[in-house]
Structure 1
Amino acid sequence: MDLIAPMRLYTLSKRHFVLVFVVFFICFGLIVFIGIAGPEIIVSRALPPISSKSKGHLSSPLKLQTPGLSTYNQELWLMCRFEPNKSTGEEFRKNIPMMVAVSGVMQDTSVPNIRVDAHNHTRSLHCTNGLCDEIIVLHLGYLNYTEYVITVTFYDLENPRFSIKNVNFTLKMYNALFSQVEIWFRFIFVVFTFMVTCLFAHSLRKVSLKDWSIEQKWMSILLPLLLLYNDPFFPLSFLVNSWFPGMLDDLFQAIFLCALLLFWLCAYHGFRVQGERKFMTFYLPKLFIVGLLWLAAVTLGIWQTVNELHDPSYQYRVDTSNFQGMQVFFLIVGSLYMLYLVFLVVRACSELKNMPYFESQQKDNPAFSMLNDSDDDVLYGSDYEEMPLQNGRVSKSKYKDESDSD
C-alpha cells in the first residue's frame, strides 16, 4: 500500500467527534433561527382592483404602473387573479390570449418610454368553487429602471359560463432588507471559506502531492469551488444593471454541485480501487454522467434567462415541447447517476466488511507508528498495558526494575 498523508479524521477521539457534531448543529440551528426570525424574502404589493363595470370591457388595454423600485428588489413579478362574478361550484378551464408591453421610466422621468416591447402569449385559466388560480403575467430578472409601466391586454374573455367581476394584479419582488442580509451572509461565508482553504493548504504544504489521499485531493478542488459557490461577485448584482452577475452566480452553483456529485462517485469507487486510478476507466465514465447533468442544468438556466431578456412575459411552460424534452433528459441522466451511486455504495460497503481497518494498516508502517503511539507506549513498550495494577495505578517502578535487570 502506498504511503499517504495522515488525515485528522482518522485520529479523532469520540469526544472530538461529538464536539464536531455539536458545533455543526449549533451553527445550523443558529442559521435556521436567523432565517425564521429574519426579514421575509418576497414582499407583495396589491394594486387597486380593476372592475369590469368601471372599465366597461376588460379586453381594452389595462395600464399599470409600479411604485419606486431599487436594485435591492432584485427581480419583479406581476401576478394576476380573476375574480368570478358568481360561483357556480363547477370547475372551469380556459386558455386566455394576452398581450404584454413593458416600458421603463428613468428616475427623473425625462425619458418615459425607454423600451416598449409587446409580446403575445396564452395563459391557462383554471377556476374551481369560485376561486381562480393566480397567473404569472411577466417576470423581470433584473431591474434597469426605478419604475415600470406595464400594459396588459386580455382577449377572448367573454364566456356564457364564466363572467368576470374584478381583475386583481399583485406585484412581487425581493425584500430590500432581505437583500442586505443576503449580502452580509454571503460575505461572511466567502471569508470563512477562504480561511478554511488557506488553513487546509497550509496543513499539507510539507506533503508531496502524490502522497495525498483521494479525499485530500478532492478537498483541494471542492474548497475553491465552494468559494465560488458563495459568489464573491454577488454585490455586483446591485451595482451593475446587467444580467451577467446573476448568470455568473447560477454558473458557479451548477459547477460546485456537479463537482460534489462527482466527488461522491469517486469517493465510493475509491474504496475498491486502492492503486493507480486511470483516467479512461475510473474518471471518464463519471465525468460523462455528471457532465451531462451540468450541461442540462446550465442549458436550462441560460435558456430561461435569454428568453426573459427578449420577452419578460416568457415562461418555460409556454415553450412546453422543448422544455419537456430537456426535463425528460435531465430526469433520465439523474436516474442513471442515482443507480450508479447506489451500486458503488453497496459494493463499497461489502468491500469494507472484508477489509481490515485502515488505522491497523498504518500501524504496520513505521512512518505512522510514532503518530499513533502514545508517549507511554514509546517509553515503556506495548506490554505496559498488561502490567498489574497497584491501588488503581500501574507500578512503573516494578516495570523499570525488570527492564534494568534485563
Structure 2
Amino acid sequence: MRLYTLSKRHFVLVFVVFFICFGLTIFIGIAGPNVIKTTTTSELTNSSKLKSYPLNSQPLSTYNQQLWLTCVVELDPPYESRFKINITLSIKIHGVTKDASTRYKNNQVHNRTRQLNCARKCDEIIVAHLGYLNYTQYNILVSFEGLEKLMVPIMNINFTWKTYNPYFSQVEIWFRFVFVVLTFIVTCLFAHSLRKFSMRDWGIEQKWMSILLPLLLLYNGILKYALFYRVS
C-alpha cells in the first residue's frame, strides 16, 4: 500500500489537508443557509367543535425535497395542569400542477389518530408528511374530531409548513458535485497504482477500496441527483 511508504512530510501533509477540509465543511455548515424553511399560518376559532381548515402551501420545487405540515393548539386561557387527549385528523390532499390545474393526489380521506399533550400550550403534532413532491403546490383540507373533549376553549390553531430550504439543497448539490469529481480522481489514481499488480496480490484494504470507491461515486452522483431531477 502507498500509505506504508509515505515519508514523514507527506504523512503530515495528508493530515493537514484532512483537517483543512474538515474545518471548511464546519465553516460552511455554520455560515450556510438554514436546512429547514418554515411558514406559519394561524387559524382563529371560537369553539372546539369539528371544523375544517383549507390550507395552501407555498409554491414548491424539487429543491424543497419534502413537505411537512404541523399544528399547535393554543388554549384560552392557558391551563395550568397537564392533560392528554386523543384526537382524530381527517386529511385530504390535492396537488396543483404547473399550469395551475388541480389534480387529486389521492381521492380518499386519510384518518390519523394523534395524542394531544396540553398544558399552557399544546405540543406540536404532525398533520401530514410528504416524502417526495410531484406537484408545485399542495392544497390540504384538515378536519379535527375530538377537540370537544378539551377542558378549556381554543384560542387559535397554528399550522406550520416545513420544507427543505432550496438554497440548502443547491449547496448540497454543489458539495456532492465537488466530491464526485474528487472521488473520480481518487478512483482513477487508485486503479492506476494497482494496474501492475495481480488481484491475488491485493490486500484486504485494496479489495475493499475497489468496492467502496465506485459505490461512493454512485452515491454522490447519479443516485442523489435523480432525487432532484426525477420526472414527475
Shorter-chain TM-score above 0.5: yes
Counterpart contact for 2:91–2:141, Cα < 8 Å: yes
- CA deviation profile, 1:85-125 (whole Å, cap 9, x unmatched): 12232111111111110011122223x23333311110111
After superposition, the Cα gap between the structure-2 partners of 1:113 and 1:26, relative to the gap in structure 1 and judged at 3 Å, is same
- Within a 5 Å distance, the mapping from 1:5-404 to structure 2 comes to 7-47=1-41, 49-53=42-46, 56=47, 58-110=49-101, 112-115=102-105, 116-128=107-119, 130-159=120-149, 161-241=151-231
SS at match of 2:27: helix
After superposing on structure 2, the runs of 4+ consecutive aligned residues of structure 1 that deviate more than 6 Å are: none
How far did 1:63 drift? 0.9
Counterpart contact for 2:48–2:150, Cα < 8 Å: no
Counterpart contact for 1:52–1:166, Cα < 8 Å: yes
- CA deviation profile, 1:269-299 (whole Å, cap 9, x unmatched): xxxxxxxxxxxxxxxxxxxxxxxxxxxxxxx
**Rounded Cα–Cα distance in structure 1 between residues aligned with 2:149 and 2:55:** 25
How far did 1:160 drift? 5.4
**Rounded Cα–Cα distance in structure 1 between residues aligned with 2:2 and 2:203:** 12
5+ residue gaps in structure 1?
1-6, 243-406
How far did 1:192 drift? 0.9
Counterpart contact for 2:48–2:148, Cα < 8 Å: no
Q: Structure 2-normalised TM-score?
A: 0.93
SS at match of 1:10: helix
Q: Structure 1-normalised TM-score?
A: 0.54
**Rounded Cα–Cα distance in structure 1 between residues aligned with 2:80 and 2:166:** 41
**Rounded Cα–Cα distance in structure 2 between residues aligned with 1:215 and 1:37:** 37
How far did 1:235 drift? 2.5
**What's the Cα RMSD here?**
1.7
Q: What is the letter of the counterpart of residue 25 of structure 1?
A: F
SS at match of 1:238: helix
Counterpart contact for 1:190–1:232, Cα < 8 Å: no
How far did 1:15 drift? 2.9
SS at match of 1:172: strand
**Rounded Cα–Cα distance in structure 1 between residues aligned with 2:199 and 2:177:** 31
**Rounded Cα–Cα distance in structure 1 between residues aligned with 2:132 and 2:64:** 9
**Rounded Cα–Cα distance in structure 1 between residues aligned with 2:72 and 2:219:** 37
**Rounded Cα–Cα distance in structure 1 between residues aligned with 2:153 and 2:229:** 46
% identical equivalent positions: 58
Q: What is the letter of the counterpart of residue 139 of structure 2?
A: V
Looking at both structures, which has the greater relative contact order when contacts are Cα pairs under 8 Å and sequence separation is at least 6?
Answer: 2
- CA deviation profile, 1:229-261 (whole Å, cap 9, x unmatched): 22323223232245xxxxxxxxxxxxxxxxxxx
Q: Which residue of structure 2 aligns with residue 331 of structure 1? A: none
Q: Which residue of structure 2 aligns with residue 313 of structure 1? A: none
Choose 1 or 2 for highest CA Rg. 1
Count of equivalent residues? 231
- CA deviation profile, 1:159-214 (whole Å, cap 9, x unmatched): 35243211000000011111111111111111111110110000010111111111
5+ residue gaps in structure 2?
none
Counterpart contact for 2:60–2:136, Cα < 8 Å: yes
SS at match of 2:195: coil
Counterpart contact for 1:96–1:122, Cα < 8 Å: yes
Q: Which residue of structure 2 aligns with residue 263 of structure 1? A: none
Structure 1 or 2: more helix by fraction = 1
Counterpart contact for 2:93–2:104, Cα < 8 Å: no
